[in-house]
Structure 1
Amino acid sequence: MKIGINLIPLRPGKNGGMEVYLRNLLEQLFLIDNVNQYYLITAPYNDSTLNYSAPNCKKLRIHEGRGLIDLTSGLLSKFIPSHTYVDDPMTRIIKDNKIDLWFCPFLSLDPRPLNIPSIVTIPDLQHEYFPDYFSKEELELRRDYIQPSCEQATKIITISQFSKQSFIEKLGIKPEKIEVIYLAAGDNFGKNTDDQKKILNKYNLPEYYLLYPANAWPHKNHLNLIKGFNHYKKIYNDSLHLVLTGSDLKNNIAINDLISQYNLKESVHILNYIDKGDMPELFKNAKALIFPSLFEGFGIPLLEAMTVGCPVIASDTTSIPEIADNAAYLFEPTDPLSICDAIHKIVADEPLREELVSRGKERAILYSYEKVARMHLDLFTSVYNQYKDSNNSLKNECHYFHGLYSDGWFSKMKFVYCGKKRFRHLHIDLRSELPVKYPMKISIILNDKKINAIIPSLGIHSFDFEIPDIETTNTEYKIEIISKYSYSPKKLGINDDERKISIILDSLIMIDFNENSTEYVQRKVK
């Protein structure tokens, strides 16, 4: 089997825990699998960091001219490439190298649509829970890319049962399409070293500190941590220090201003990015890992700490209780006093510390990157075998929606079909339920031809269009429906729905030249 892996989104040092996942996964895959051929699709900014000696690994570098959309935010740095169906260089790579299976480990299935089986790793749907942490552009891009990626991929890998449930509830993805593969601490955390003094001297650190490794992203909750730490220092007059590691911390105005406001400059140490080999010693020497994150799809530092015998205090939210189980002392992350109490508990209660260390080591044994790699390889194999055994007539056909919510509401949506069918007629049913001013103006764009229309009143309204024939072996149909205005039901006083929506898609039916009709709808609205 020829497996293509899209590594274009990898920005060394900026992808947080997903970079740890990717690099450890590749190392283990090349150790356990000498049968399949791997094609790593790289970019100029990451190619030199992806060197593997495995004979079944080949790198193919794409040049800068591809047009990358920068989705860097205060969260995972994501670079979702723009793409076209015909001329995209990755599409050519897939075709020229006869790739059998396509794997995208960073959030988005790209390119798409694809005529081969595909797997995408999406760690979580944080933007659905904390949309305010994203700019409007970032939010639109993530919603435009994640939903169609989920719908078009053969399988979705996510990293916790919490995240799997998010896909089911937020996007309406079928449970059987989602595979949960837990992550692990990197192999460097399993090595025995004795460089404690050397590491402390290297970074000019005290011996008595809490450690929090996290980039300066809003959901990492640094501000509440600093507030809680300040409470602890004032109440207990302790010499405890706080060590923060992660990119852009030194440049974060809000974090640094709060440290100055509380006169904590001597007690809070900001190290920014740390060498990979130094992190285990920073964990080993810490009094505890403190992990106040508001949202995690997994939380790799939890296992890193447990692996080296560092006790853990952490948030009681999202996937963290699932991953930590009984091996962490949990607190309410939005309450600085709860954080303060947890700090005091882990510092003052030695039996608790010893118990958490013991439970943590038992917990960490359950996770390894060899196991992660084997689960990926098993999934690659099963997906490809199912594809080979499937009906050939279905192999070159795919369709997807984006911009359409799982309950049918939208303000701007797109439907794309790629395959060998040729359609002659389009039928659309739109339902209007909002008590707003009518007529409502909409535009329907069919293969780049724009048609202006109106929704005259409440109720169901039907639209029919003849489709110009496309005489090619592989056709692509694009249908966009755009409402001129969108509304928030909450602002209209209807309910608590804060989405910007306009109308509901009841049905979208395509009729081919043999008068066979196919209804493509994300979900029927009853």
Structure 2
Amino acid sequence: MSRYILDARTAVPHFPGIGRYVTNLSSALIPLLAAGEELTLLDGPAAAQPVETSAPATPFDIRRQWRIPRLLRRLRADGQALYHSPYYVMPYRPGLPTLLTFYDAIPLRFPGAVPARARLFFRLAATLALRASDHVLAISEAARNDLRSCFRVPASRITVTPLAAGAHYKPQPAAEVGRVRDKYGLPERFLLYLGINKPHKNLPALIDAFARIASPPAPPLVIAGAWDDRYPQPKQRAAYHQLGDAVRFLGPVNERDLPALYSAAALFVFPSLYEGFGLPVLEAMACGTPVACSNTPSLIEVAAGAALTFDPHSVAEIRDAIVELVEDGPQRAQRAEQGLARAGLYSWQATAAATLHCYRHLLGNLREG
């Protein structure tokens, strides 16, 4: 028996990205398992339906440092086992071959995004997690490069396993688009940003750029996603420019509604200064929406020419990219077609297959399942 233990204790609302990663990865892994292989989730999401085991400590409970390793030893009792942590807060002496998923180095690459204490905690916890891990999964080549430059992790210990849009991210029928448009009170034509409002997302620059094209009127700008009140600058910029209803702060959107929200948008704009991957760009492309995004390493990697890119530090370039795609219908159609093709190259099945190969390699089982 080869048991692969995926720690799902951080698959909670506080970490929505990790929750989606664990759910999508585990669901795609299960059909790939060979006879004698088993996936075990520690407090995993019910949608995945592998074997689940209740963990004896929450992710941030200091007792996890000895309770989780004891549980892992029990789970290993009937054969080989490995431990896969999707987060750097983990037991640092797990006692099993260990795999870690690494997403980004935002606290180090963009220190203004987090307080000094949080930066210190990230560096310490990530360093301990990397030392405890036999191998690391990076979600992009950009994340892999950050591992090497920020933490000096050898290339031989890193495998890139990209994220992917869920299968439900695809162009939506008119009835579904209409339902979501009515639910959120959206106009027939609008520009869309989806994501949080932390400083590295660069929303003040997007609003400054949009203000420069408000006359003649551009389609309204809809900013959707969870809002952190510690960072009021985007709303302050919109008020400063007196944009009124031209900028709509939509707040969180139900996961079920996201494909139709993307599909309804005339253009998706993503001005982020730093991303470990840039999943919203891929999701928008998968829904057939043309994309304008930053020319940062991970976004160039994900979009690969399908999106119109700009320097996120230049308000003028952001403005020009929006105007170009708003006014150029043929280019919008071309970008949408290219985006669909690009998004089709990513799948959770491929990511799961690459992850399973790492599992088998770590356990010394090199046979193909």
TM > 0.5 fold call: yes
2:166 to 156, 163, 186: 186
Q: Distance in 2 between matches of 1:296 and 1:319?
A: 6
> Max radius of gyration: which structure?
1
After superposition, the CA RMSD in angstroms is 2.1
- Secondary structure class of the residue paired with 1:232: coil
Aligned mates of 1:191, 1:288 — CA distance in 2: 14
CA contact (8 A) 2:72 2:96 kept: no
| Superposition deviation, residue 344 in structure 1 | 0.2
CA distance in 1, matches of 2:16, 2:297: 18
Q: Does residue 59 of the first structure (1) align with residue 53 of the second (2)?
A: yes
What is the rounded CA distance, in whole Å, between the counterparts of 1:304 and 1:185 in structure 2? Answer: 5
Report SS of the residue matched to 1:225.
helix
Q: For residues 63 and 10 of structure 2, what CA distance do their matches in structure 1 show? A: 13
Alignment partners' CA distance in 1, 2:180 and 2:228 = 20
- Aligned pair count? 360
Deviations 1:327-357 (A, max 9, x none): 0101111221211111101101112112211
Structure 1 moving runs of 4+ over 3 Å: 16-19, 81-85, 190-194, 249-252
Q: Equivalent residues in 2 for 1:68-467 (5 A)?
A: 69=60, 81-82=61-62, 85=65, 88-98=66-76, 100-108=81-89, 110-190=90-170, 192-194=172-174, 195-233=176-214, 236-248=215-227, 252-385=231-364
Kindly indicate whether the alpha-carbon contact (under 8 Å) linking 1:244 and 1:268 is maintained by their aligned counterparts in 2.
yes
Are the aligned partners of 1:10 and 1:19 in contact in 2 as well (CA < 8 Å)? yes
1:230-287 CA-partner distances (Å, limit 9, x unpaired): 1121xx4214111111112577422222222222230112222211111111111111
1:131 deviates by 1.8
Structure ranking higher in helix proportion:
2
SS of the counterpart of 1:219?
helix
Secondary structure class of the residue paired with 2:248 = strand
Q: Which moved more, 1:153-162 or 1:186-195?
A: 186-195
Superposed CA offset, 1:269-309 (max 9, x none): 22222111111111111111101000011111111111121
Q: Which amino acid aligns with 1:328?
A: A
Contact 2:75 2:81 in 1 (8 A): no
Cα shift at 1:32 = 2.9
Identical columns (%): 25
**Which amino acid in 2 is paired with 1:38?**
L
CA distance in 2, matches of 1:357, 1:346: 11
- Contact kept? 1:250, 1:270, Cα under 8 Å: no
The answer (yes or no) to whether the contact 1:29–1:377 under 8 Å persists in 2 is yes
Structure 1 length-normalised TM: 0.65
Structure 1 pair 84/273, CA: closer, same or farther in 2 (3 Å)?
A: closer
| 2: CA distance, partners of 1:196 / 1:159 | 31
Shift of 1:115: 2.3
Amino acid in the other structure paired with 1:23: T
Bigger RCO (CA 8 Å, 6+ sep)? 2
Contact 2:192 2:223 in 1 (8 A): yes
Give the match's secondary structure for 2:169. Answer: helix
CA distance in 1, matches of 2:16, 2:106: 14
Q: CA deviation at 1:210?
A: 1.0
Is the 8 Å Cα contact of residues 10 and 19 (structure 2) preserved in structure 1?
A: no
Give the strand-richer structure, 1 or 2. 1
User: What is the deviation of 1:20?
Assistant: 2.7
Quote the residue 1:40 is aligned against: 41
Displacement of 1:105 after TM fit? 1.0
Q: Aligned partners of 2:253, 2:121: CA distance in 1, in Å?
A: 31
> Higher mean Cα deviation, 204-213 or 237-246?
237-246
- Give ranges in structure 2 of 5+ residues lacking alignment: none
- Asked if 2 retains the 8 angstrom alpha-carbon contact of 1:163 and 1:297, the reply is yes
* Aligned residue type for 2:167: D
What letter is aligned with 2:182?
A: N
Measured against aligned partners, the alpha-carbon deviations of 1:183-224 in whole angstroms (never above 9, x if no partner) come to 111111147543111111100111111111101211111111
Counterparts of 1:182 and 1:278, CA distance in 2: 24
Task: Name the amino acid aligned to 2:46.
Answer: N
Distance (whole Å) between structure 2 residues aligned to residue 325 and residue 156 of structure 1: 24
